[in-house]
Structure 1
């Protein structure tokens, strides 16, 4: 098939969950013999030279990136208060990018056009007008849930009301847009059920996150035990607020000795205020690491203290592939077919996190076994080769007008 992937960010390098999923999808489709094009927005205006896929992949795909300014201004937010849509979505619309996209569609006939998330759905009308391809929406998360759950964490009544307003606007937009696609792909059964509750009538298929598992090789001899770590982009609000809660909650336990273990925090776009959490020999705020998998391998216990968000946490799946002992909230592990205490530990409040950390840092054999079980789970359900096979079968069904994936 001839397939076009539309992305709201350049998925190279693979330094976040969204980029990992999009890039692995492209590589999997190419390896399966499909003709793949990628058209991506580049919201950070970074040099494309550092964001190109590897040379081998570059020779196999058609790739275009377009710089876009998504800066949020106080004036823009104020004006948006009187709008019916959310600034968080509207800022990804650029008429020049739409023209570029239309030119691409006029020059090529595609079988499938996959929209990677809500932000590129702004271009659905133009794509529908200029292409006869089947249009697939892949929901990396249910966007309004993120805002709704964030509002529930707020005490300030103005912030709570403001976030609820955006949650309502985004939900209305999602309900309107998704039924305009030919089909929807989600990562979790929970997300499918949510969309059905929203009244989405087009076929919805559950296809989980896929990883190239041969790239995830654990070496326990290079792992520091005990050690806690967090790895994730802190420009994503749920990650940032979750880690702020964790650090505020446990900073005394970590520094005074009630939890005798080091904590390492790594990821993209860590705010400067996180430097205030650093404690000599106890808490390390490392920022972006050169090699994420080496960093993960070097630490023993992954923490995922998510209090809001949605979709499937790619970093948890990566941690499982690397045989990590993982402590997560129920929300953080949502959509993963885990067994609490067997391949992951679930902790939803201060006491549960404290008990889980205490157990893990005092029982290395338990941590190692939990990690081995997690790897087996990743192999059963998150092998990219199986995931891509299921995705292309779904594409075939859509192209042939079949209803095999209709909601039942």
Structure 2
């Protein structure tokens, strides 16, 4: 019997997704790689010489899962262009109704190369990761497509207006920003480019989309470790922050912690054997200044989190802004590490305060919770078991793979 011919899908990503070692690549590959035997997958990703070299270094991995790989150079940002270039950029984006005009990935070359790949490999469906790349559906409208939403991106990229602008320049940029935000809303919420299906990383994100479209909730699923919380080292209570400080919400949250929460607990760190560990690239000077080498440690970027996760007793997430599901929380929970967070920090996770997470929103209650949890290993152990159970019940990877396969079959049924 002849083997059936596999259907071909073109996968669009903002960066090379393999090996999957961080949130976005894990989210992309979790439900993609398990289906690589069933479908012919082709990769279209964004990058430069570093990304090309990265793919060459992992050639065996990419060859195993993708029939072809294309790396498209990143389109120039408006800030990289002169005055005339910025004007042309704005006019082109306005004409096409493109979103994220201040951080766009659109270029004529990008679209031309995507069309070439569709024709060359007889692509029958598109999977587009992030609304930043949704414009490919506009220009390849004849091919059925699913938009995989990693976040409601307009929450994170609202079009920042440079503070130094004044007069007519500020008014012009504000006008462009309004158009960009309107276009973004129409793409993400109204589905103006008529994606055949849309998937969402959180239930709350999915509920915000009003368009009549096939919508699926596909969370980020991480394998739950079999570790026992009670086996963690005693003697010190290690409290962990994870997240790069180049991202404004992370820097904002940790500086709030340093200015408003740390003074409320600083004189009790020694007595309760608390050690605060801050992991993440580009820590601000104000944070580095509190590193005393005894109870507060600012590690910066680390190559591997494994040892720190093994020894950590609590993750604290003092975030005040930003959007999307916090991968750091899911990663901690998958390792059985209980979590103390603000409401903003854990939105969209489906966790319940007091059951599988602790949520506090003002500085005093956040500080009180740190001290209470540090002094109560039984409560931490109970939270550890509960957060792992949350992942087992609400973040089932096999269910997500099957839902993605259902979407593929629907897209390809009309081909």
TM-score normalised per structure 2: 0.80
Q: Number of matched residues?
A: 386
The runs of 5 or more residues in structure 1 that have no matched partner are 402-408
> What does residue 214 of structure 2 align with?
203
Q: Is the 8 A contact 1:147 1:163 kept in 2?
A: no
Deviations 1:9-55 (A, max 9, x none): 2224434322221132332322x633222221126845633785584
Partner of 2:258: 247
Q: Which residue of 2 aligns with 1:218?
A: 227
Does residue 186 of structure 1 match 2:200? yes
Larger mean CA deviation between 348-357 and 259-268 belongs to: 259-268
What is the distance in 2 between the residues matched to 1:56 and 1:203?
32
Which residue pairs with 1:41 in the alignment? 46
* 1:345 corresponds to 2:358: yes
After the TM superposition, which residues 144-155 of structure 1 pair with which residues of structure 2 at under 5 Å, given as runs? Answer: 144-146=154-156
* Residues 1:76 and 1:3: Cα distance change in structure 2 (over 3 Å): same
Distance 1:223 1:307 in 2: 31
Alpha-carbon spacing, 1:250–1:266, altered in 2? closer, same or farther (3 Å): same
Matched with 1:143 is 153
* Pair 1:163–1:139, CA change in 2 (3 A): farther
Q: For each residue in 1:377-402, what CA deviation from the matched residue of structure 2 results, as whole angstroms up to 9, or x when unmatched?
A: 1111213222111121233234446x
Deviation at 1:262, TM superposition (A): 1.5
SS of the residue 1:291 aligns to: coil
Match of 1:6 in 2: 12
Q: 1:278 is matched with which residue? A: 291
Corresponding position of 2:72 = 66
Counterpart CA distance in 2 for 1:191 and 1:44 is 34
Query: How far apart, in 2, do the equivalents of 1:54 and 1:250 lie?
Result: 47
Asked if the contact 1:16/1:232 (under 8 Å) is kept, the reply is no
Match of 1:405 in 2: none
Structure 2: gaps spanning 5 or more residues: 1-6
Q: CA 1:136–1:67 in structure 2 vs 1: closer, same or farther (change >3 Å)? A: same
Of 257, 273, 278, 1:265 maps to: 278
Q: 2:240 aligns with which of 211, 229, 241?
A: 229
Distance 1:68 1:229, change over 3 A: same
Indicate the residue corresponding to 2:111 in structure 1.
98
What is the distance in 1 between the residues matched to 2:172 and 2:379? Answer: 44
Q: How high is the TM-score relative to the length of structure 1?
A: 0.81
Give the Cα separation in 1 of the matches to 2:121 and 2:21.
Answer: 30
In the alignment, structure 1 residue 363 sits paired with structure 2 residue 368: no
Distance 1:336 1:35, change over 3 A: same
| CA shift digits 1:222-252 (9 cap, x unpaired) | 5564111111233332223222222222333
**Cα deviation 1:170-193 (Å, max 9, x = unaligned):** 541223333312221112221122
Q: Does 369-378 or 390-399 show the bigger shift?
A: 390-399
> Could you say which residue in structure 2 is the equivalent of 1:309?
322
Q: Over the residues paired in the alignment, what is the CA RMSD in angstroms?
A: 3.6
Q: Secondary structure at the residue paired with 1:59?
A: helix
